[in-house]
Structure 1
Amino acid sequence: MEGMLPILPHEPSRTHDVTNQPPPLAPYDASEDTALLEGLRREGAGWAEEDVRRLGRVAGSTEAQEWADLANRHEPELRTHDRYGNRVDEVDFHPSWHHLMRVAVAEGLAGAPWADESPGAHVARTAGGLVWGHTDAGHGCPTSMTYAAIPALRKEPELAKVYEPLLTGREYDPVLRVPTDKRGLLAGMGMTEKQGGSDVRTNTTSATPTAESGVYTLRGHKWFTSAPMCDVFLVLAQAPGGLSCFLLPRVLPDGNRNPFRIQRLKDKLGNRSNASSEPEFDGTLAWLVGPEGQGVKTIIEMVNCTRLDCVMMSATLMRKTLVEAGHHVRHRTAFGARLLDQPLMRNVLADLALESEAATTLTLRLAGAADRAVRGDSGEAAFRRIATAVGKYWVTKRGPAFTAEALECLGGNGYVEDSGMPRHYREAPLLSIWEGSGNVNALDVLRALRRESGAAEALFGELALAEGADARLDAAVARLKERLVQASETAARRLVELMALTLQASLLVRHAPPAVADAFCATRLDGDWGHSFGTLPDGADLDAILTRALPERG
């Protein structure tokens, strides 16, 4: 028509050409971690390497990474009532959560090691967690608690006989029904209450004996009970004989729902895929586990197991974010060169790599101690007792600073949700809070030193295995012995920090390449280090450290 502008040929817009951005990381192999595989073999589970490698490829697959993203974007939802007004107290999850859970349970990351007599079974599980954790941390909560429930449940053999075969199975069965009618079970834990937190002896939930021996009715309100969709829970309540441990099923043997009224789900900083709840008990039936008045002593084995998993998950987050950062800087250029080739960025990555390897190596050493302690090694049991608390304190404390630095390697891209790094950053602080915050764990180390026979001897026996190999380590061990003489609560954190650093250094001196051990001792023990990551001294062999930590991908 007259007056209309002519239609011009379409020309592609050059303003939207994408350049200098890294390709997607997935698919990748989450088990491509030299320190992890070496530790797996060293701690007696080399027989599981093929399975760990297979799981690592699944964890790094595009599909599994998408499951993790979706499970966190579509958070669990609480349904307190059905359409007719009946109380149901169920939590609905996105299908991706169930995919993650199904793999985790099938791969033996829940209770399976307790049914496996193979030496190293618990190490194999921990290594599996170190690679499968590259997906999502939230679903590791119910698998961890299921794993940890077994040793506590064994305090009551008759209950263990009924529930243990289902808790140690490898079938994920999320439908809520009579536990003994299911193909597999998950266990949760309810310890803390709003008036006490870690001070569980102030719990007010009451447990009243019924006419049936060993069966009680509970009444009270728990403050943090994660994974409320689990089938059974180990909870603490005040019985006539004092604070006691109980097994509480969601569905009773007759098929009726046990009163487990979920008041709300917690709106948390991170760990969004996992439901954490406040359940109310009112005439809720539960079975006594262990003697009355010995609830803390009964459930402490559960806590020791979950603390190991806190260390494991912190080490996993470190490794995951290191891999993400390494991938980015390998493909991103600035000021005329790849970021990976720029000296200061190499320093940052190498420093992160040292921290990650130290955390992974300690995690697997703790898993080895746990495995051997289960099999009757009293020396390893003593080492496990103190070293797990030390590792829980230190490795989980390092996680938030580590993930923040790894995120920064991506610059503004790392601050965007699509990168996944904000999710890891929000997740990191949880591990130092769950199962006792920093002060609780530091004081627990002091308690172990003063009350647990052989704990100090076991720790120094481990350190002695590296004696004479590095003068800086020898000097640090001497300082540690001096501080132990006048250990006080006020100085507990400094003491535990030195314990952790000497323990990590001794493991690296014995098992890691000289470049790794030397850089760690120079910075963490000898003070040749700044106040942030990326301050390794000029003499550090950055090339050797990075080649070990971040091998070139094809």
Structure 2
Amino acid sequence: MAVSTHTVTNQAPPLAGHDVFATDRALVEAVERHVEAGLLEEVRGELSTLGLSAGSAQVQEWAAQADANPPRLRTHDHYGHRVDEVEFHPAWHRLLGKGVSAGLTAAWNRPAGHVRRAAGFLVWTQAEAGTGCPLSMTHAAVPALRADPDLAAEWEPRLTSVIYERELRPAPLKAGALFGMGMTEKQGGSDVRTNTTSARPLAEDGAYELTGHKWFCSAPMSDGFLVLAQAPGGLTCFLVPRVLADGTRNAFLIQRLKDKLGNRSNASAEVEFDGTWARRVGEEGRGVPTIIGMVAATRLDCVLGSAGLMRQAVAQAVHHCAHRSAFGGPLIDKPLMRNVLADLALESEAATTLGMRLAAACDDGGEQERAFLRLAVPAAKYWVTKRCAPVAVEAAECLGGNGYVEESGMPRLVRESPLNSVWEGAGNVQALDVLRALRREPGAFDAYLREVGRARGADHRLDAAIRDLLTELADLEGVEARARRLAERLALVLQGALLVRYAPPEVADAFCASRLGGEWGAAFGTLPHTLDLAAVVERARPVG
């Protein structure tokens, strides 16, 4: 072997063995901003523990194993009994168990619970995004179940537990449980009111028998599911337990696992109900209002998940360019590459800052913050998830050919990057929901204006963007065709206002000049050259 002819030089070392939380300046500052002083040391400590795990070589190896060994459907056991089980690689269980034990399903009853959980979710997404689905579904099921106090009392302690139990058995015998969700059907998609799955009342109070299908069922290995079905009184929300109280399997027939774009480690399924036992959640005919709390929580997780993916993509790109030399010096010092990296870093920091502000509003829970969330969540979900894919693709290009090799991990980020834009309502659904909030809930826009108004006078480009937004909203002629533009402008103005208030001047200046001031091209790397781009890139470096 002529090894002397193959000496490896000028390659970036692996980005491993670092604290994913502590090296993310924007995230650390957001946590410090939104967590009260007496609790801050505890929260920083738990997030650093999770960050060190997420950045470790061991967890990175588990992520690669889970990606390379996707789940398999086992419909029958060797005796011929129908079991409908999804089998995962052991690495998947290790990753999911770490997420549960870190409290990523336990936001609802802890001080600063949503902020600390949001930061943890953003960190853990960077290890392996596939586990985000069951963690998010389980977390988000809590507000829906609270429509029925008895169900909430029974299930909430299990859903918010930090104990991960993978085995399927009756829920009362488990210290911790996971939840999935099934709303969409073949004929309707996002138009859930066209669902055809039927629910027939049984003699037992609140019990029903379901017959029908779900075209997309999230996390089909879970202990329970929230589903929508047509009861005599209209579309209604139901809890479908995977295993019944007597230990028998509920009729939950997994027809196949989806071969989908996105992560390979998680499972999504098509399922059928045939005499499936279910418990009503909330009133008959109130299915959408009952489940809307779950939808709102998972939409926020789409923002956080996309922010996590963007942060990991930017961290990898900056790390590579800091260690790779070309044309006489490190890539990170080349003016054009620095412009690209700074542009990517701005997108990442804006997403993180916005996501954490929304989480803080969830912790507050007051009327003003609830009104703010009603408009800000769909606008943020629309815009941040749309920005994730171009960030991931551009970041992969920063690594050159290495970024297109599976071992780099970048293709995994690219495949995952579009997912959150379609989960819990694609772009048009979010934009129309923005219009719905503007039309039906004037308090939502008032709360939004109060939030962005806190930054007025600090940057002339932000002030002009707020004025332009008000002008655009004053003319509602043909507004539905402009709904995407409105959602985009609402999100950008909000991001700009938050960065002006909280980010270093070089970050806020670059964001307002490009995203609000019009000094920006269609591709990344077109920031005005007069900006302090070196400081923006240095702030985004994952290690010193």
SS in 2 for 1:441: helix
> What CA distance in whole angstroms lies between the structure 2 residues aligned with 1:537 and 1:164?
51
Amino acid at match of 1:486: D
Please identify the structure whose Cα radius of gyration is greater: 1
Provide the rounded CA distance (Å) in 1 between the counterparts of 2:318 and 2:415.
20
In structure 2, C-alpha distance between the alignment counterparts of 1:335 and 1:472, rounded to whole Å: 37
Match of 2:392 in 1: 403
Of 105, 108, 113, 1:114 maps to 108
Structure 1 residue 416, shift from structure 2 partner: 0.8
Structure-1 residue corresponding to 2:330: 338
> For 1:199-210, what aligned pairs fall within 5 Å after superposition?
199-210=191-202
5+ residue gaps, structure 2 = none
Deviations 1:296-317 (A, max 9, x none): 0000000000000000010000
AA aligned to 2:523 is S
For 1:386-397, what aligned pairs fall within 5 Å after superposition?
386-397=375-386
1:173-252 map, 5 Å? 173-252=165-244
* Contact persistence 2:319–2:542 (CA under 8 A): no
Deviation at 1:12, TM superposition (A): 4.0
1:325 is matched with 317
| Alignment partner, residue 4 of structure 1 | none
Q: Which residue of 2 aligns with 1:3?
A: none
3-state SS of 2:509 partner: helix
- State whether residues 26 and 60 of structure 1, in contact with CA within 8 Å, keep that contact through their aligned partners in structure 2: yes
Describe the SS at the equivalent of 2:228: strand
- Confirm whether residue 28 of structure 1 aligns to residue 23 of structure 2: no
Alpha-carbon distance between aligned partners in 2 of 1:204 and 1:12, rounded to the nearest angstrom: 67
| C-alpha contact 1:226 1:274 (8 A) present in aligned 2 | no
Structure 1 residue runs without a partner (length 5+): 1-10
Q: 2:131: which partner in 1?
A: 139
RMSD: 1.0
1:269 aligns with 2:234: no
Confirm whether residue 435 of structure 1 aligns to residue 430 of structure 2: no
C-alpha offsets along residues 95-129 of structure 1, whole Å, 9 cap, x if unaligned? 0000011110011001x12232x1x1110000011
**How big is the shift at 1:223?**
0.5
2:84 corresponds to: 89
The correspondence for 1:64, drawn from 51, 54, 59, is 59
The CA deviation string for residues 9-43 of structure 1, in whole angstroms up to 9 with x for no partner, is xx743222111111111122211111101111111
CA distance in 2, matches of 1:24, 1:38: 26
Which amino acid is the alignment partner of residue 218 of structure 2? S
Once the two structures are superposed, residues 433-468 of structure 1 have per-residue CA deviations (whole angstroms, 9 ceiling, x without a partner) of 000000000000000111124101011110110011
Given the alignment, which residue of 9, 31, 34 partners 1:19? 9
Q: Distance in 2 between matches of 1:243 and 1:168?
A: 28
CA distance in 1: counterparts of 2:458 and 2:26, whole angstroms: 20
Other structure's SS at 1:18 match: coil
Per-residue deviation, 1:44: 2.1
State the one-letter code of the partner of 1:14.
Answer: S
> Counterparts of 1:349-428 in structure 2 under 5 Å?
349-373=341-365, 377-428=366-417
8 Å Cα contact 2:20-2:542 kept in structure 1: no
* CA distance, structure 2, for counterparts of residue 271 and residue 449 of structure 1: 35
Distance 2:18 2:443 in 1: 44
Q: Which residue of 1 aligns with 2:31?
A: 40
User: Matched residues, percent identical?
Assistant: 61
Contact 1:130 1:313 (8 Å CA) reproduced:
yes
Give the match for residue 161 of structure 2.
169
**2-side partners of 1:513 and 1:270: how far apart?**
34
Q: Distance in 2 between matches of 1:164 and 1:543?
A: 48
1:309 is aligned to 301
Aligned to 2:525: 534
CA distance in 1: counterparts of 2:442 and 2:214, whole angstroms: 34
Conserved? CA contact 2:318–2:540, under 8 Å = no
Aligned counterparts of 1:271 and 1:193: Cα–Cα separation in 2: 22
Aligned residues: 537
Distance in structure 1 (CA, Å) of the matches to 2:126 and 2:19:
10
Determine the C-alpha separation between the residues in 2 that align with 1:34 and 1:113: 23
1:498 to 2:489 alignment: yes
Report the TM-score, using the length of structure 2 for normalisation: 0.97
Counterpart amino acid of residue 21 in structure 1: Q
What SS does the corresponding residue of 2:508 show, helix, strand or coil?
helix
- In 2, the alpha carbon distance for the partners of 1:194 and 1:415 equals 35
Q: Distance in 2 between the 1:546 and 1:13 partners?
A: 37
Report what 2:541 is aligned to.
Answer: 550
SS at 1:264 equivalent: strand
Shift of 1:551: 5.9
2:130 aligned counterpart, secondary structure = coil
CA-to-aligned-CA distance 1:197-216 (integer Å, 9 cap, x gap): 00000000000000111000
Letter in 1 for 2:497: S
TM-score (ref. length: structure 1): 0.96
